[in-house]
Structure formats: structure tokens, C-alpha cells
Amino acid sequence: MASSSNLAAPLSDLSKEYDFIIIGGGTAGLTIASRLSEIPDFNVLVLEAGADRSSDPKILTPGLAGSLYDDPTYDWEFMTVPQKELRGRCVPQPRGKVLGGSSAIYQMKITYNSQKAWDAWAVMGNPSWTAKSMRPYERKFHTYHPHTAATEEGILQYTAEFSHLDEYMSGDDGPIQIQFGGEGSFKQIDTDFYKTMKSLKEEMGWNEKTMGGTASPNSIDPKTKARSFAVTGYLGPEVQKRGNLHVVTEALVERILLEKTGVETSVKGVKFTSDGQTFEVNAGKEVILCAGAFHSPAILELSGIGDPKLLKTHGIEVLIDNPNVGENLQDHAMPSVSFEAAEGVPTADVLMRNPSIMDSLVAMYEKDQSGPLSDIFRICAWAPSTLFDPSSEEELKAILKETSDDTKNKEFEDALVDLFKSEDGTTTQYMFGKIGFDVKGGKTITEIFGRNSTGAIGDSNFITIMASQNHPFSKGNVHIASSSPREKPLVDPKYMSHPLDMEISARHVQFMHKIISTPPLSHYFKPNGRRLPGGFADGKAPSLDEAKEIVRDSLMTHLHPVGTCAMLPRNKGGVVDERLRAYGVKGLRVCDASIFPVAVRGNPITAVYAVAEKGADIIKEDWKM
């Protein structure tokens, strides 16, 4: 049953025209809706395909985040097309299909982009998107609740000194609540991970300030112990009282309505379906497309904006010829190797095997928001992307030279190489999960986390190390599969299609041996224990060739697709200009993860909020507000 959410009048009260129509009530969409509706003269409509589940305990309980995937109630359940470099494996790609979008199902981990990686956006043709211009927006979206002395002593003293510890980065009155967690939020194993990464950093001579362990806070509200996300943050009670904001859920946008007057193409409105009925609403000022990295390009294509060849194949009239739509897909990909834990080391595998334990944890949280489900402590570390020893650096540079013939891509590759060379930009993000992953045997995310028929995890407990490449060279695409708005677009990230990505990832798999062999962390692993998907035999690091095979069998997504409606000059692959205006159409902007020209360092939600905050300011400025 379609609903018009508690924020607005029923669907039957829908006006014929709104100043701004926002497609997608997700992370970016709600941020922009909230900021634009601060102006009483603006009338704003949000159309969201998913339902309003903002009081659903599964969404609000931090420790239940893992139960939201592979369930169409919350998740679009994307699956990539078969990936050539992964032996034809398809990779599951959850995306939030509820009010709040992916912020309602994401893992709540907060990290920040590097200065150098923001500046790459400017260098590539968007001079007003420098790191300096983005920092105020990174502060604006959140409130940071200061960490405790225990967190300082047990964790932060061993971590790299940057971003969240930098006062300049800590917002004090933004809508999203960020915290490190209270007493008991981290365990001795977490402290030992940071001690190990600190000693490795010293041994490897990595940059003191930016590399090594980093503790990321979470977007959990310390007062309620609940997920803080786009709905709780940007559609709070005060915003809900605004008469100029209308949010319609369970409303699937089919296409943007465009009209041609002479040579000019402009936006007329939006066509959507809800409750089996079709509606058309006019946009007095603009349509703002915020449907995320997979749906935003698809909606453009369904509306006649894209590669003429593709559109004609699907019988769609070509209104704007722009073959860049849906290209430039970048996703953080990560080989994920599970190492058997030493006897007596508890991991979440125990919970997977004993649902009754989970039931009692849920009861604890329901009673007074206490227990392990009220908090998530996530650990990670940054390492240089390639440069473990100088000889391999030479080898990697040679590979890059061989593959750099594509002139359109040259600027992108140059920007990435520049990032590699810089102290703060060049990163692979190691993550550490206290649970086994069966990536090779699991077809869905749920199966990968140990509930699949291959039974590879069995009765063992595992600790998984993931190595996410933050600035991948491989680029894929997302395009419609047919002219039906109900059919999901085809997602092809082309993981590891650039040979340099394989070289980098394989070296990081080799380095995992060093991580598990270094005390005090080494004590948590069973000597010569089982490894998933395999390798590391006889207590040794795999050879480079063996490591590449491990990458093929263990690579999964870090769930950070971006870039498919890139903000770039049009002749360099752009879909929108630096004021987020779609090329060739008056009154249409795109603003979400799809506009990122280059993937950010680390987890992208902070960048999505910051981009949306800046986007809202740009729109206000352009309408002289």
C-alpha cells in the first residue's frame, strides 16, 4: 500500500506542480530536500520508491545492520553481471530501498576523504570543488560527540593522527550524530590490532601522520543508541512540520518529462507510479535526480538522455545524446581472506550458528538499548597502495605505462598516480572483521557471511582481513536492460579489469601474512589454521601468482559504487557540470554518489552528505536565495 509518509498530506493531496521535485529520498535526496525546504518560498516534493520504515527496529538497531541485506523489504538486491577477472562470478550489491536510501541500511562507519583526493576533483575540471571548499560541508552534516578517555587510551593513542581527531573536522551542530561508543565498545583484540598496525607502520616506514591504524566513529546517536541516518537527521520533527515539504514513499519514478522548444531541451516534470496509478507532476523550477549510483543513470536513459545506440536498441527516443551516462563506474573492491581464529577467540560466527544467542541480544537491546547490539566498533588501517618495496614500484609503473594509451582516461590515471605519490591520498584500507567470509561459495551477502550450503565455515571461528583499494583504476558501467522502469539496470563494475588493480590487490593479499604474523595480533590466529578461500600454506605468504588467484576467489565489493553521472567537462566523460546541471537540459541536476568523478578515500557517506550540502547551497545561490 503506497503511503504519503507522516511528513505530508495523502497522495490524493498531491499538487500539480512543485518548485523542486527530488527523485529518490535517500542519503543525498533527503539532505537536499531538508535544506531547500528551509526556504519557505520553495515548494519541495520528494518521490521515493521504497517505503517509510524509519521506526523499524531492524533499521534503528545498530547491531542488526547485517540483517537488512537480501531482503526486498529494505534492499534493491542488485547483482553484478558475471565478472571476467573473477572467473565469471557475480557480485551481490545491496542498495537501500526505503526512505533514507542506503543510509538506512549502511554499516554506519564514518571516515573522511583525503585532501588530495578532493583536490583531484578540482584538477579534473571542477575548479570550485577543492578540499578547502569541501571541509565546511564535511563539518556541516554532523555533530561529533567527544570520545571518552578510555577510547583515547585503549585505541586512539595507537592510531594515525588525522580527520576525526582533527578539531577542524568535528561538526558541532549538524543533523547526523557521530560517536565512538561508550564503555565496553571495544575489546582487547581491537587494541591489539592497533598496536600491531602501529608497529608495522614503524617497521615499514609509512607516513606517520596519515598511515597505519585509524579508528572510525559510527553514526549512532549516543542518546538513543539508535542508527543516525538521513531520516532521523534531516527529516526530524521540526522539518516534518514544514508545510512546503511533501514526501511520497512507494512512488517509483519512471522517467523525467522533457520538452523541446526550438534547440533547447528543458525539464517539464516527472512521471511516477504509486499504488498501481500513474501520476505526472510538473516542476516549476527544477528536477533534482538523487536516485544513487545505479538508478540515477538508468532514469536518465529511460528519459532519453544517454548513448543514442543504447537508447535506440531499447526503443527510447533520443532527446540528449550523451554516451557518458552510466559510464565511469568506480567501486572499492576488496580481496577478503578469512583466517581461522585461535582456540577460544569468540567471533560472530558463533552468533551465525546459534540464532538463540542473537534472540537474547535483541531482547537486551529492546529492553533498554543495552548490550552488544547498541554499538559497533569498527577497526581499519590505511596503507600505501602499492609501494612495499622499490622494485615492485618500478614494475607497477611499467604496467601503468603499458595501459595508458587511452587518451580520455589519461587524465584520470594521472590523477590517480598523483594520489599514489602523495602522503595523504594514497591508500588501501585494511579492514578486520571478526567473522568468516565464504566469498567463493556464497552467492548472496547473507550466504557469504556463513549461511550457505557449501558449509565452508563449518564449526570454525574466523577473522577476516579485507584490503579495499580506495582509488581503483578499473572502470565499469551501469545501463538499462530494457525500456521498463521496473527492470533493474545491469551493473558491470569490471572489477580488476585494469591490470594495475590486480597487481596492487595481490600485493595487499601477500601483506596480510605480515599482519597475521605480527604480535600482539598474531596470538589471535590458529597457527597453520584454515584459510578461506585458501592459500597461505605452511605458514607462508602466498607468491604473487598465488595471491592473484586468491584475489579472483575472494574479491567482493566494499559497497561504494560511484561515478556513473560524473561531474566532469562533457568532452572528458561528464554528465553534469560543476554546478551539477545535466549537460543539454535546462532545469535538471544530479546530486548523489553518481556525480563523483573520482572515488573517495575510504567510506563514502560523509562525502555524499557533504556533496548534497554543497549541492543545496549551489541551488539556493542559483535561485538567489
Ligand X SMILES: Cc1cc2nc3c(=O)[nH]c(=O)nc-3n(C[C@H](O)[C@H](O)[C@H](O)COP(=O)(O)OP(=O)(O)OC[C@H]3O[C@@H](n4cnc5c(N)ncnc54)[C@H](O)[C@@H]3O)c2cc1C
Binding site membership: which residues? 98, 253
CB of 526 to ligand X, least distance (A): 29
Cα–Cα nearest to 611, from 126, 127, 129: 129
Looking at beta carbons only, is 96 or 535 nearer to ligand X?
A: 96
How far, CA to CA in Å, does 334 sit from each of 69, 103, 344, 505?
Answer: 19, 21, 28, 8
Catalogue the E-assigned strands of 444-573.
462-469, 477-479, 490-492, 531-532, 555-557
| Rounded CA separation 536/554 (Å) | 14
In which element (H, E) is residue 221 found?
strand 220-221
C-alpha cell at 186: 571495544
Please confirm whether the linkage preceding 520 is cis (ω < 30° from 0).
yes
Measure CA 254 to chain center. Answer: 24
Looking at beta carbons only, is 302 or 396 nearer to ligand X?
A: 302
Looking at beta carbons only, is 101 or 476 nearer to ligand X?
A: 101
| Rounded CA separation 238/174 (Å) | 14
CB of 517 to ligand X, least distance (A): 28
φ, ψ for residue 197 (rounded to 5)? -65, -30
C-alpha cell at 450: 556463513
| Rounded CA separation 3/227 (Å) | 23
CB of 178 to ligand X, least distance (A): 11
Looking at beta carbons only, is 113 or 510 nearer to ligand X?
A: 113
Residue that is written with C-alpha cell 512512488 in the block = 251
Cα–Cα nearest to 91, from 554, 455, 443, 431: 443
| Rounded CA separation 438/436 (Å) | 7
φ, ψ for residue 95 (rounded to 5)? -145, 140
CB of 234 to ligand X, least distance (A): 11
CB of 582 to ligand X, least distance (A): 16
CB of 224 to ligand X, least distance (A): 19
Cα–Cα nearest to 423, from 120, 117, 207: 207
| Rounded CA separation 410/416 (Å) | 10
* Torsion angle of C-alpha atoms 254, 617, 143, 97, degrees rounded to 10: 0
Cα–Cα nearest to 602, from 416, 412, 446, 383: 383
Looking at beta carbons only, is 48 or 286 nearer to ligand X?
A: 48
CB of 553 to ligand X, least distance (A): 22
Residue ranges at the known binding site for FAD: 98, 253
| Rounded CA separation 53/70 (Å) | 16
When CB distances to ligand X are compared, the closest residue is 26
What secondary structure letter does DSSP report for 396?
A: H
| Rounded CA separation 582/574 (Å) | 9
CB of 424 to ligand X, least distance (A): 18
Pair 305, 582: CB distance under 8 Å: yes
Looking at beta carbons only, is 507 or 589 nearer to ligand X?
A: 589
Looking at beta carbons only, is 47 or 124 nearer to ligand X?
A: 47
CB of 23 to ligand X, least distance (A): 6
Q: Which residues bind ligand X (CB under 6 A)?
A: 23-29, 47-50, 94-97, 101-103, 105-109, 252-253, 290-293, 295, 299, 559-560, 592-593, 603-605, 608
Looking at beta carbons only, is 293 or 362 nearer to ligand X?
A: 293
| Rounded CA separation 176/54 (Å) | 15
Residue type, 42: F
CB of 383 to ligand X, least distance (A): 19
Max intra-chain CA distance, the chain: 74
Looking at beta carbons only, is 139 or 513 nearer to ligand X?
A: 139
Looking at beta carbons only, is 70 or 622 nearer to ligand X?
A: 70
Cα–Cα nearest to 572, from 448, 457, 407, 418: 407
